[in-house]
Amino acid sequence: MSKLIKPHGSEVLLPLYVEDEKKRENLLAEAKSLKSMVLNSSTASNAVMLAAGYFTPLSGYMNKDNVLNVARNMTMSDGLFWAVPIINLTHNVDNLNEGDDIALLDPNIENNPVLAIQQVTAIEKLSDDELNEIALNIYGTNETAHPGVNSFLSSGKYLVSGDIKVLNYSYFPDDFPETFATATEIRHKLTDAGWSKIVAFQTRNPMHRAHEELCKMALDRLDADGVLIHMVLGKLKKGDIPADIRDSAIRKMAELYFPPNSVMISGFGFDMLFAGPREALLHATFRQNCGCTHLIVGRDHAGVGDYYGAFDAQDIFDKPVVKESLKIEIFAADHTAYSKKLNEVVMMRDVKDHNKEDFVLLSGTKVREMLSRGEQLPEEFARKEVAEILIDYYSNL
């Protein structure tokens, strides 16, 4: 039996989902008489991540002291490494008191059913200066043109902190029954497969040829047992391809173009932050919790626009606090491009004899632009069978 890497900050996973059906029913009944608040989508997705064990060893939403510590130093006040504050931020706390148990309502499902119950240990206000400092530290900017900053700064000023008990996984199991999985379930699958050296690949896009080859390079160079293709199933940004279409395209690519039993496809219920380097660290942390030993970090990982340098998300892993805290390692990828000389996708740093004209540069943005114009994708960009799924989607918009 394979022995997996330990979770972050714990010997075992600590999922916050209430497994016991009777307890869950009692808590749902109790929730009817509790004060309630409708969460924003990001806070709700964090509840799902906490429920699924991805955010082990956290037990709920952070208080102000921890939020500021994480933003400034990437550690909580007790010294635990964490890259991004996990918070319940709201505009109005008039009816809430410290010591309350409150029902947290799901914003992403009709009629806002109860998602979790939170024990309120503190209600604290963040000043405008503190909000801007947090945004600047996490996102590298406080410009509201940045989608992550805009979402954060428009979420309110009041932090409601405390432990939570989560009663369901929101819309993810119903909308993605074949793909959504908890960290616990992924660990079981990896153990059953006998894998112990596992590479995680993070994606919010359909996988074009460069992504495919990147995964194969990592498998080969690390002599890994397999790759976990792990896709974001939550809210993205305008223009991104919906998760169900991405799912179909990725499954088709893995089925046709990877060696048998070398790929596991799964997804997680999280809204992208587009926080670049800080989000790369969060991605690594919860992939360690899944049991992965390596995370592929490529050009502009979790970035948006021109807010981050191409390899900032790799460089941040060299910080002492990161090296001391995470067991997972990164597979640092260079720009990938199709080589006309070699007729294959390469990392540009690996082919010293090439000049600019020898490459066809690949990007998800370019693929989306071509698809939205109804253009066929060249073979250097995407596998024919993958392109067909994407063209079908765009033709029905």
- Strand pairing category for 101-105 and 114-119: antiparallel
* The pLDDT value given to residue 290: 98
Domain count, the chain: 2
Q: 263 is in which domain, residue-wise?
A: 175-395
Please indicate, yes or no, whether residues 245 and 348 belong to a single structural domain of this protein: yes
Task: Look at residue 7 and tell me if it is in a domain.
Answer: no
Q: Label residue 119 by pLDDT band (50, 70, 90).
A: very high
Please indicate, yes or no, whether residues 70 and 186 belong to a single structural domain of this protein: no
Give yes or no: 289 in active site: no
Q: Label residue 216 by pLDDT band (50, 70, 90).
A: very high
The pLDDT of residue 386 is above 70: yes
Integer Cα distance of 382 and 232 in angstroms: 20
Please indicate, yes or no, whether residues 254 and 387 belong to a single structural domain of this protein: yes
Task: Look at residue 34 and tell me if it is in a domain.
Answer: yes
The pLDDT of residue 362 is above 80: no
Q: Where is pLDDT greater, at 362 or 46?
A: 46
Task: Look at residue 246 and tell me if it is in a domain.
Answer: yes
Count of CB atoms within 10 A of residue 208's CB?
25
Lowest pLDDT segment from 130-139, 246-255, 326-335, 366-375: 366-375
Which is the catalytic residue, given 66, 168, 205, 289? Answer: 205
Please indicate, yes or no, whether residues 278 and 141 belong to a single structural domain of this protein: no
Lowest pLDDT segment from 294-298, 335-339, 356-360: 335-339
Q: Which of 117, 145, 171 is the last residue of a domain?
A: 171
Q: Which of 119, 140, 171 is the last residue of a domain?
A: 171
Q: Which two tokens stand for residue 357?
A: 């004209």
**Using CA atoms in the order 189, 11, 137, 42, what is the torsion angle rounded to 10 degrees?**
50
* The pLDDT value given to residue 2: 62
Task: Look at residue 45 and tell me if it is in a domain.
Answer: yes
Task: Look at residue 5 and tell me if it is in a domain.
Answer: no
* The pLDDT value given to residue 366: 73
Which is the catalytic residue, given 40, 69, 137, 204? Answer: 204
Stretch 127-145: mean pLDDT: 97
Contact predicate 47/39, CB 8 Å? yes
Please indicate, yes or no, whether residues 153 and 187 belong to a single structural domain of this protein: no
Task: Kindly report, residue by residue over 301-353, the tens digit of the pLDDT.
Answer: 999 999 999 999 999 999 999 999 999 999 999 878 888 889 888 888 888 99
Please indicate, yes or no, whether residues 231 and 303 belong to a single structural domain of this protein: yes
- Strand pairing category for 226-232 and 263-268: parallel
- High-pLDDT (> 70) share of the chain, %: 98
Task: Look at residue 11 and tell me if it is in a domain.
Answer: no
Give yes or no: 299 in active site: no
Please indicate, yes or no, whether residues 142 and 263 belong to a single structural domain of this protein: no
> 69: burial class by Cβ within 10 Å (0-12, 13-18, 19+)?
buried
Please indicate, yes or no, whether residues 157 and 232 belong to a single structural domain of this protein: no
Please indicate, yes or no, whether residues 148 and 204 belong to a single structural domain of this protein: no
Write the CATH number for 112. Answer: 3.10.400.10
Write the CATH number for 257. Answer: 3.40.50.620
Task: Look at residue 252 and tell me if it is in a domain.
Answer: yes
Task: Look at residue 8 and tell me if it is in a domain.
Answer: no
Integer Cα distance of 175 and 109 in angstroms: 11
* The pLDDT value given to residue 371: 79
* The pLDDT value given to residue 129: 98
φ, ψ dihedrals at 288, nearest 5°: -60, -40
Q: Which of 171, 206, 234 is the last residue of a domain?
A: 171
The pLDDT of residue 294 is above 90: yes
